[in-house]
Structure 1
Amino acid sequence: MKIAVVSDIHGNLPALEAVLEDLEHEAPDETVNLGDCVSGPLWPEETAAVLRQTGWPTVRGNHDRVVVSARNMPRRTADGFSFALLSEESKAWLRDLPATLRLTDEIFLCHGTPEVDDVYLTEEITGPKGHLPDEQTILEALGGESSPVICCGHTHIPRVIRLSKTDQTILNPGSVGLPSYDDSHPLRHKMEIGSPHARYALMRKTSAGWSFTEKVLPYDWEKAAIEAERNSRPDWGRSLRHGFFGPLS
């Protein structure tokens, strides 16, 4: 069995198209989507339309949850911009997404943690940059979820973590469409992967257990950066063009 795992597309249609083209060659048995599908100053409705057509099992990200009620948010914000351009069909699709999904007896899907969609499971933002949470912290965040494989997104940083105490594996595929960003919740921080490539992951079930492959794909990130800048988000433009957040020194 081979499963493709995508997450955090954030309305980046060219990046999603690069992933779709690669999936044609990989031919997985299933593709799953861990949420944050459309929020961003790019192509929210076009991205939603493609995703609705795929029929992929999809869980709701924190921005999927927020964007459908972002009527009063300024258009300069990612969620406000996306709300203004999304069709009613796409908004209804986002509203209907489940918060979590048990794909099989072995595989559990969530965006942030099994209990909260906007909490990082695989990054510790209060410690040094790029710090991995300790095993006990991760186990507490799992809230008792015991599936052998847990797939999560939200951080935009690819990770494969094995929990020795419970013999579980956590897969974070990274972000298809946004390689870096900053946030003020729960405190000011930034996430950076350091390159503009689109990312997703593959899981393969073998006789020895699950194996994992990170896919790192080129696409026309200059087109995406220009679109973000055209929509008054030069910060997104820098992120999409370079994979780092903020001006390059």
Structure 2
Amino acid sequence: MKIAVVSDIHGNVLALEAVLADLKLEAPDLIVNLGDCISGPLWPEETAAILRETAWPTVRGNHDRIVLDDPIDKMGPTDVFAAERLSQASRDWLATSQPTIRLTDEIFLCHGTPDNDDRYLTEKVEGPKGHLPDEQTLLDELKGESAPVICCGHTHIPRVIRLQKTGQILLNPGSVGLPSYEDDHPHRHVMEAGSPHARYALMTNNHGAWNFQEKILTYDWDTASAEAEKNGRPGWARALKHGFYGPLS
């Protein structure tokens, strides 16, 4: 059994197309999507149109929830851009996404933590950046979720973590469409993958043991960056082009 795990596409249809091309070569048995599908100053409707046809099990990310549920005047500019451009068919598709998915007895899917789509699981914000949490912090954030494999997104930083106390594996595939960003919750910080590549992950069951592979793909990030710049988001433009947030020193 080979499962592909994608997350945090953020309306980057060019990165998604690169992932789809690679998925054809990898031919996984199943593809799952951990959410934050369309929010961003890029191609939200074009991205949704592709995802509507996939029938992938899809978790609702925090930005998916905001676009669906919040009034426009309460949204930030990233979500407003997407909300104003989504067709009703795409909104209807996005509404079929689920807060969490118990894929099998062994595999649990969430966007942030098992009980909160806007909390980091595989990063702890200390100072200006995220860092690998200690094991007790991870266990506390799981809130008793006992699935042997827990797949999450939200941080945009790829990780595979094995908990010594429980033997559980935490997989974060990183972001398909946005390699770095700045946020002000719980305080101002940046997340940076360090390169502009599109990312997803493969997990393969090998006689009862899971093996993991991070896929790191080239795509036309210059065009994605130019689209963000054209749409008035220079921070996104730098992030998409370089994989770091903010101007290069």
With the length of structure 1 as denominator, give the TM-score of the two structures. Answer: 0.97
% of aligned pairs identical? 68
- Hey, what's the Cα distance between the residues in 1 that align with 2:3 and 2:127? 32
Quick check: 1:98 aligned with 2:92? no
Structural mapping, 1:1-249, within 5 Å = 1-73=1-73, 77-126=77-126, 129-207=129-207, 209-249=209-249
Q: 72-81 or 138-147, which moves further after superposition?
A: 72-81
**1:70 shift after superposition:** 4.5
State the secondary structure of the residue aligned to 2:53. helix
* Distance (Å, rounded) in 2 between the aligned partners of 1:233 and 1:75: 16
**Superposed CA RMSD:** 1.4
Figure out how many residues of one structure are paired with residues of the other and give that number: 249
Q: Is the 8 A contact 1:70 1:80 kept in 2?
A: no
Deviation, 1:191, is 0.3
Specify whether residues 104 and 240 from structure 1 end up closer, same or farther in structure 2 by C-alpha distance, changes over 3 A only.
same
Q: Tell me how far apart the structure 2 counterparts of residues 222 and 74 of structure 1 sit (CA, whole Å).
A: 31
Task: Measure how far apart 1:96 and its partner are.
Answer: 2.5
> For residues 236 and 74 of structure 1, what CA distance do their matches in structure 2 show?
21
Query: CA distance change for structure 1 residues 96 and 218 in 2, over 3 Å: closer, same or farther?
Result: same
State how far apart, in whole Å, the 2-side matches of 1:126 and 1:29 are: 38
Q: 1:74 to 1:239 in 2, by over 3 A?
A: farther
**What code does the residue aligned with 2:192 have?**
E
CA offsets 1:129-164 (integer angstroms, 9 cap, x no match): 342111111111111110000000000000000011
User: Secondary structure of 2:229's match?
Assistant: helix
Instruction: Give the drift of 1:213.
Output: 0.2
The residue identity in structure 2 corresponding to 1:18 is: A
8 Å contact kept, 2:153–2:173: yes
1:191-214 CA-partner distances (Å, limit 9, x unpaired): 001100000000000026100000
Of stretches 183-192 and 114-123 in structure 1, the one that deviates more from structure 2 is: 183-192
In the TM superposition, residue 91 of structure 1 has moved relative to its aligned partner by 1.3
Whole-angstrom distance in 1 between the partners of 2:233 and 2:127: 29
Structure 1 residue 128 displacement after superposition: 7.0
Q: Which runs of 4+ in 1 moved over 2 A?
A: 69-76, 126-130
Q: What's the CA shift for 1:105?
A: 0.9
Q: Secondary structure at the match of 1:202?
A: strand
Larger displacement relative to structure 2 (210-219 or 68-77): 68-77
Distance in 1 (alpha carbons) for counterparts of 2:82 and 2:9: 13
Aligned letter for 2:114?
P
User: Helix, strand or coil: the match of 2:52?
Assistant: helix
For the residues of structure 1 that align with 2:92 and 2:24, how far apart are their CA atoms?
28
Q: Which moved more, 1:70-79 or 1:111-120?
A: 70-79
Q: Any idea what SS the aligned residue of 2:8 has?
A: coil
- Which secondary structure does the structure 2 equivalent of 1:229 belong to? helix
- Alignment CA distance shift 1:34-1:138 (3 Å): same
**Contact 1:73–1:79 (8 Å) recurs in 2:** no
- Note the alpha carbon deviations across 1:164-221, whole angstroms, 9 max, x for none: 1111000000000000000011211110011000000000000261000000000000
Contact 1:74–1:81, Cα closer than 8 Å, also in 2: no
Q: Is the 8 A contact 1:113 1:120 kept in 2?
A: yes
